[in-house]
Each structure stands twice: as structure tokens, then as C-alpha cells.
Amino acid sequence: MRPSAPRFAALVAVLTASVALAGVFDLPRPAPPDRYGTVLIDREADSGSSKAVVFSHWRHRARHSCRVCHFELGFELQTNATPITEEDNRNGEFCGACHDGKEAFSVRDEARCNECHAGRIRADKAAFSEFAKKLPKAPYGNTIDWVAAGEILDEKYALFKDEKPMDFDKELLLEARWYNISPAVFPHTAHVEILDCANCHPDVFNIKKKTTEHFEMRFILEGAFCGACHLTVAFPLDDCVRCHPGMKER
């Protein structure tokens, strides 16, 4: 079938934008779907007797919101930024909050240390495919549409208190600085269902639209602002249209 005129124009607009962006900035090459969002923690481990620790986001976010770990348990939103020790874990902090032998295998179980201390990024392709095939698809990242999947998975929002997400549905249209680029959308709802306001305000974004300094695509690509999550864990920047919906209309 021949694409209709507006669709064809859209494709050109996206391609032009991608080419322009790829020319000016480098899009990092994303990891394959089963490893996207899997990190290797080797801040302390890997120096003495213990090996580097593998942590997969897809497994964990299926059951718990980002907020549980990145707000309640105090994990930083950056690999190797959190001072985690074996003692902390054994005292029920960090990984030990769940890996207590009840919720998940224990940090004290001598037979299972290496499930975490694997020494390298380990991915279970078969388990990932089994998991992903039941969920709605997206084109990039884990190739899972995590927003739609949230309805099916129903991950726990809070660990300690019976808290509920705040009802805050303000959707923002963030105008780009380039005349030929359609604005980006920022839907609060999709974010506040899994994150705390404090994950973004005031450290990442000011709480007033278009007042955040240096809020530009080139810094986003360096891991600032939207790039704090949309390079490594949430769908990657390759998915222009999901943030710039106008790119498919023009």
C-alpha cells in the first residue's frame, strides 16, 4: 500500500530529525532487550573476595515500583552511587529489605551469594522471553510497553506504608528550541504512578514549566533530565515519537 501523503511527510520529518540528531549528537547503542536495564554494581565488590553484583531492572520492576527502591530504600538513580555494604544488606537495608529469605532468597544464604555476585552481567534470555511474551510490546528498550504492562503486573507502589500514588495528571507540552521540531510531551500520570515527586523535584526539574536551566536535547543525551531514566531503564531516546508525538503527524 502506498503511504498517504501526511504519513510519508511524517516519516521524512522523523528521519530528518534523527539524521540531524545523529549528526549533531551520538545516540548510545542500546543493550539487547533481555539486558536493557541490567546493571553491574562493582563499587565495593570485585575488590576483595566478593565479585561484582548483577541487578536486572525488568525482573524487579515487574513487582515493585521505582519508588520502592529509589525513594523508600534510598538507592540512587545512578549505578555505583549508593554505598551498599554486606552488613547493611544483612541488617535489612538495600537488597536485604527483600532478600530476607521470605520475599526473595536471603543475603545470608552462603549457597546463593553468587546469584547476585555473578561477576558479570548475566541475562536469562529464556526467562525474559517467557515474561515478555505475555506483555504489550514497544519498539525499543526491553521491547515491553511498561505503561500498558503496569495494568497487568500491578507492581507494589510502596513497601513500608499503605501509600497510594498522588492523583496528579498534569500533562505538559515542552516546546523544543528548534523551529522544525514538534514539542515533547511530559505526562505526569505515567510517572507519578511509579515514581515519587521527589525523584524529579527539585533536583532534576524545577517545579515550574520551562524554568529548568539547560533543559536541552544535547544534555538529555548526556544523561541529564529525561535522560536520567530514558537512556538506561525507561524506553530509550531512540523512540522519538513517544515523546514528540507530532513527529508522526507532520
How many whole angstroms separate alpha carbon 118 and alpha carbon 122? 7
In terms of DSSP H, where are the helices of the chain?
5-24, 57-61, 66-67, 86-90, 113-116, 125-132, 146-153, 188-192, 197-200, 217-220, 240-243
Amino acid at 162: D
The CB-of-80 to ligand HEC minimum distance in angstroms stands at 5
The CB-of-118 to ligand HEC minimum distance in angstroms stands at 7
**Within 122-151, which residues bind ligand HEC (CB under 6 A)?**
141, 146-147
Q: Do residues 113 and 99 touch, judged by C-beta distance below 8 A?
A: no
Q: Do residues 28 and 231 touch, judged by C-beta distance below 8 A?
A: yes
Residue 107 found at the interface with ligand HEC (CB under 6 A): yes
DSSP run (H or E) holding 35: none
Report residue 42: phi and psi, to 5°: -140, 40
Closest to ligand HEC by CB, 6 vs 16, is: 16
The CB-of-160 to ligand HEC minimum distance in angstroms stands at 11
The CB-of-3 to ligand HEC minimum distance in angstroms stands at 20
Residue that the C-alpha cell 546493571 belongs to? 39
Report residue 118: phi and psi, to 5°: -80, -15
**Within 61-80, which residues bind ligand HEC (CB under 6 A)?**
61, 63-64, 66, 68-70, 73, 75-80
The region of 2-10, 28-36, 95-103 touching ligand HEC under the rule CB under 6 A is: 95-103
Q: Do residues 38 and 56 touch, judged by C-beta distance below 8 A?
A: yes
Size of the site for ligand HEC (CB under 6 A): 109
Amino acid at 60: H
**Within 160-219, which residues bind ligand HEC (CB under 6 A)?**
166, 168, 170, 172, 174, 176-178, 181, 184-188, 190-192, 194-195, 197, 199-201, 204-212, 215-217
Closest to ligand HEC by CB, 8 vs 171, is: 171
Residue 103 found at the interface with ligand HEC (CB under 6 A): yes
**Within 15-54, which residues bind ligand HEC (CB under 6 A)?**
17-18, 21, 39, 41-45, 49-50, 53-54
